[in-house]
Structure 1
Amino acid sequence: MNIRKRIAALALTGAVVGSGLIAATAATAVTVGAATQGEVVAQSCYGNAWSYSKPAGTYFSPSSTTYFTTANCADINIKTNTDRKVKVCFYASGGGLNHCQSDYKSTKAGEWKVIASDVKDGTKFKFQFESSAASTGMRAH
């Protein structure tokens, strides 16, 4: 008779633990499901961000090569560590300058800013800063 009680207690414990895991999983699913499509895309995009460092005396980042857009983001985004004015210059696949945006966009320190929207994957570009002061931060594209 003791063995039957132990088996019943073990089965009941397993059922209670199992239902707790199911409830926790369901709660997590609800929390994840609460994020909007835009938030999920932004998290994915910014989660794959890279740092940048523009030295003083230059206006472009990077100074000698180009960045290129990826499937991580549909836009070109920057998060500067200080307030800056930035635009994007696009380059042909052969490396020559194609064109630059006409207007600078103002960034706020520590905040993501979309500089160019709906850019095709594989597009080569550089950030052009209005100031030649040194600048650091993050980029996502």
Structure 2
Amino acid sequence: KKLEAVYTTAESFQAKVQEIVMKNRNGTYQTLFQALIKELDQIAFRMYVCDEDGFQKSVNIFKAKDGWISQSEYIHKNWSWRPYFLENIIKMRNERKGILSDLYSDIETGETIRTFSFPMNGDDYLFIDISYQYLFQNDQLL
């Protein structure tokens, strides 16, 4: 049942994120993030865009206590050292669809989370970190 729930959730995120990305494909990252926040405010707590080599191309959009904030210090950071990062990039590029990660502990918050990764185009990959609160409310995802 848990595997089925993860698959169903990944498919749901795929449809929702793909629609938002397509509607905002000619805009800036900021425009895209604003559209994503409207749909995913109760689900996500961090969003950012990286290239296929792991270099972050956008700011982090982070959900703080007082609302969503931009964290520009993350631009150009490289995340390719993370387990499965490059493997998932290749998988997304070849399958042309998003991936919902296994559970893992977030480096900054220490919380158990999942990340939905989505191939926006040939160069950009969107990463949406899913909050523990959402996972707990949908406990089949834990």
Instruction: Give me the TM-score of the superposition, normalised by structure 2.
Output: 0.33
**Larger proportion of helix:** 2
Instruction: Write 1 or 2 for the structure with the bigger share of strand.
Output: 1
Return the structure number with greater relative CO, CA threshold 8 A, min gap 6: 1
Larger radius of gyration: 1
Normalised to the residue count of structure 1, the TM-score between the two structures is 0.34
